[in-house]
Every structure is written in C-alpha cells, then in structure tokens.
A = this chain, B = another copy of it.
Amino acid sequence: MAKSTKSKGRRSAAQPTPNFHGHDILSVDQFNRESLDYIFEVAHEMRVLVERFGSADLLQGKILANLFYEPSTRTSSSFMAAMLRLGGQVIPINNVQYSSVSKGESLPDTIRTLESYSDVIVIRHPEVGSATTAAYYAEKPVINAGDGVGEHPTQALLDMFTIVEELGGVDGLKIAMVGDLKYGRTVHSLTKLLLDYKVEFTFVSPENLRMPNEILDAVKRRDHTYVETEAIQDVIANADVLYVTRVQKERFTDLAEYDRVKDFYVVDEELMQQAKEEMIIMHPLPRVGEISYAIDDDPRAAYFRQMRNGMYIRMALLAAVLGKA
C-alpha cells in the first residue's frame, strides 16, 4: 500500500482559497477534494492551536444558536466546545419540545427569530430536509448537525479528517466499513466523500444490512471497485481503516440469523492480533459492545481521537462560515 505525505493533499500556493464565508454547511455533496483539503488544513491548525494555547479569540463577540430538536449530548457539546474555544459564545436551545418553538410555530419563524439574536445557527432536527429549509430562510449561515436519516455532514468531515490526521492521507488506502451499512447515515456520507479519492472499499455486513444499491451504484459510477463480505475476519489483515458501526438485534426478524452473524462484528484483542501495525479502528460512538474495552489502549484505537477531531472540524467550519478561517 502506497502511503506518503504527498497524498495528504495540502493545497499548493497557486490554488485559490475556497470561500465559505456566509455559506451554509448542509451536505457532504458541497465538498470536493479541494474544499476538503482546505477545511482539513484549517482543522489541523485548530488542533495545533488547542494543543498549544487551549483557545483563541478568533470568534470573540460572535454568538452561535445551538438548536437541538433532538437530544444529542455528544454533537451539541462538540459544537459548543468548538465555539467557546474560539472565543465565541453559545445560546444552547435543547428543550425545544417544551417551548413555543414546538407550539405550532413553523421552523422558518423559529429560525428567523433565532438569527435575530445570533451570528450562526447549528440545527439538529428529526426531519430530512429541515436544515435546508432553515438555511433557505436564514440570512446567517446554517450548519446541519443531522436531519433525521438525511445528512450529518460534520460527522463525515470529522471521519475523513481523522483518516488524514492518523494515516497522513487518503489515496491508496484500504477502507473497510463494518456493521449496519443499510441504515448507517455515517457510512453513507463517508463513502460519498471518499469517492473523490483512490481507495479500495470493503463493505462488511450481514446480508439484511448491506450497503444500499444507491451507494454501491455511485461507487461503480466513479470507477471504484468494492468487495462485500459478511465477516470482519475476512478483511482485518489488510484494512488500513476499519470503520465500525453497531449491528442492532432489533434489525433482525430472524433471530437465528442474528445469532449466526453477531460474533462477526465484534472487535476485540484476538481480532486485533491479525490487524496490521499501522491501521486504525474508527467508530462514531456511542458503542454498545461492538468494540471491546480491552482495546481502548491499543494505539490503533482511534475513536476517542476521532471525537476530539470532531471539535477541530467544527472549529474550522464555524471559523470558515463566519469569515475568520
């Protein structure tokens, strides 16, 4: 496998800087190789900044409205930390279900009210398309923090960024995605982002939770090859990235089938002995059993660093849409 720092894709001086100032972040479809490189470069600078100084005053005086129609401690805390570390402030709006916001008020009205108080809006909402609706009505930038089974672009960006930071680049990597590939929003978005790079895909799932044809077709259209298989054991020896998601018992109507396959989707010390020395295990968290706690201290276990990368990516995006990157 060819892996070099060249493939890290730092932009050359000749390229113009992608301009996110005032723009919304709604979908992974907005990004190409060039804009990803730019965001990852800024996110890397954010990492250096936090590691050296803890925080900065880049967004001093700016206010983020952090609007969560669904609870998500992890994502809302990550955005909040990102804004605070850049010297900005946050209005957290978490209990939307109890407030006037939910008493029949339309999403556009809520958004136009909140943007009158703030400089940027982050929205998590259970309905597909809600972030796009919010962005349509808002004059201030809107960042999609997950709209139901739709998009969760900052998750996909932090996943990509983790691969870049951990392995020095993306081209040439063997990437295995594992678990529930049918309903997993994160693996769909990550696959889309990876289409711009030269990677080898392996999709590891039970028969009933295979990657949707729509995604497989997109992979083929872009001249990528992929392999589908049922067991991690088949891919562990060669994978550079093992991206694990949860296989939920509730997805199976045939419980005998569940019992047959469930052990194929647990990452433990025994499995890790077959893995390469330089590879990484990723997981969007929370995990419930699919990765053994015993490997948390294995340097290849990247999922907690991946969390931290989420903060850096969100710092980069907030700075970018507010014109301060």
Contacts and interface: CB of A to CB of B under 8 A. Distances in A.
Contacts of A112: 304, 307
Nearest to A92: B92
A61 interface: yes
A131 interface: no
A307 B85 contact: no
A311 B89 CA distance: 15
Interface in A126-173: none
Residue of A74, A85, A116, A117 most packed against chain B (CB within 10 A): A117
Interface string A44-66: 00000000011110001111010
A287 B81 contact: no
* Copies of this protein, total: 3
Contacts of A16: none
Contacts of A109: 285-287
A71 interface: yes
Given A54-B62, A63-B84, A109-B286, A99 B118 contact: no
A77 B293 contact: no
A55 B96 CA distance: 26
Contacts of A101: 73-74, 286
